[in-house]
Amino acid sequence: MDLESKIVHIGINSDEKTGAISTPIYNTASFAHPALGKSTGFDYTRSKNPTRQVAEDGLALLENGSDGFAFSSGMAAATAVLMLYKPGDHIILTDDCYGGTYRLFSQIFINYGISFSIADTSSQQSVMSAIKENTKAIFIETPTNPMMKITDIASLAAICQKRGIQLIVDNTFLTPYFQRPIELGADIVLHSGTKYLAGHNDLLCGIVVTREKTIGEKIRFIQNATGNILSPSDSWLLIRGLKTLGLRMEKHNENAKKIAYWLNGQPHIEHVYYPGLEDHPGREIHNKQASGCGGIISFAVDNPDLVPRILSSVKFIQFAESLGGVESLITFPSCQTHTDIPEEIRHKLGITDKLLRLSVGIENYQDIISDLEQALE
């Protein structure tokens, strides 16, 4: 079955008794046992719930992994993944990543003895020099949030496999529709499902998909032990959103490409960061490992005074934190999503007071351009 069809058919035949096309919401905390020592396969919703399971199995299928897990947010998913590691372990984190991920490493897991180094994972040399004897994992985003840097997943996976290091990929920006890191050698894929997977700016959720059952079983244990789960109702919303993932991603991609080219020719735009542009340094690698560029564009204006003007002038595009929903949103990373990254690192990366991140929605692209045009005047 083609990926497009797999997406639409998530949950089909999940309720054999009634034949319901839409997955039922099993709003139950507990399940009755037929007899002592017997189970229907479901005992208690923290461990397993039929609605959540449809979402989890669906994502595992799309990412081509062994097991899928649904959490209450993307950060909850990342937390469960980092719980795989022990005091004394070291993890390499891509230098340009979502600010909340950096905060999780630098302000939470550091207190539990898990050290980390940041490295420019788009450079093999920089990764090699960051590897230590106790390095247990490399955690990347590609494209990165917000600078849209590209890491070669297959090459990094080969480095990791040789050294027994796990490769974790945050695949939020592209989703399995455009990029499937496990097929390229990654061990764990995670998502802020809040974004493109759910797609409608109406729920928070996180996803983990593992390459192998052995890691899957560890995540299952962590999820059940910590109670970090997606509710049945939110699982249903996720399934509902997922059904149109293919259509939405195509439209996000098509719109973003047009808008990136348009922005690139505007007088007050200093630089456009989008892997679909010819001058993007990671374009070749990106095209090798992904079938689309997604809907996120970051751009730097030529004067920081323009930033507050743009943010208060946009009417159609909403000035809000988040991305990946059907509505276009604009964000100021240095003051919003990336404030927890030290200023020195932010500036080195280009996350300055001139940088804006646009999450291109699925509206008519001319309306998005018209809004940007009047805001840039």
Ligand X SMILES: Cc1ncc(COP(=O)(O)O)c(C=O)c1O
| 298 lies in the binding site for ligand X (CB under 6 A) | no
How is residue 21 written in tokens?
A: 């096309």
Give the nearest distance from C-beta 235 to ligand X in angstroms: 15
Give the interface segment with ligand X, choosing from 4-12, 18-26, 93-101, 346-354 (CB under 6 A). Answer: 93-101
| 172 lies in the binding site for ligand X (CB under 6 A) | yes
Task: Write each residue from 53 to 92 as x if it is in contact with ligand X (CB under 6 A), else as -, in one continuous string.
Answer: --------------------xxx-----------------
DSSP 36: T
Task: Write each residue from 124 to 163 as x if it is in contact with ligand X (CB under 6 A), else as -, in one continuous string.
Answer: -----------------x---x------------------
Catalytic residue positions, numbered = 46, 98, 170, 195
How is residue 204 written in tokens?
A: 């928070």
Give the nearest distance from C-beta 300 to ligand X in angstroms: 19
| 295 lies in the binding site for ligand X (CB under 6 A) | no
Query: Per the omega criterion (within 30 degrees of 0), is the bond before 146 cis?
Result: yes
The beta-strand segments (E) located in the chain are 67-71, 90-94, 115-119, 135-141, 166-170, 188-192, 206-210, 269-273, 296-301, 318-319, 329-331, 355-359
> With 0-12 CB in 10 A as exposed, 13-18 as middle and 19+ as buried, what is 58?
buried
Q: Specify the residue, 182 or 203, whose C-beta has the smaller distance to ligand X.
A: 203
Count of residues that bind ligand X according to CB under 6 A: 15
- Compute φ and ψ for 169, nearest 5 degrees: -120, 125
Give the nearest distance from C-beta 347 to ligand X in angstroms: 20
Task: Judge contact between 141 and 97, C-beta under 8 A.
Answer: yes
How is residue 112 written in tokens?
A: 């539990």
Note the residues at the interface with ligand X (CB under 6 A).
73-75, 98, 100-101, 141, 145, 170, 172, 192, 194, 204, 206, 337
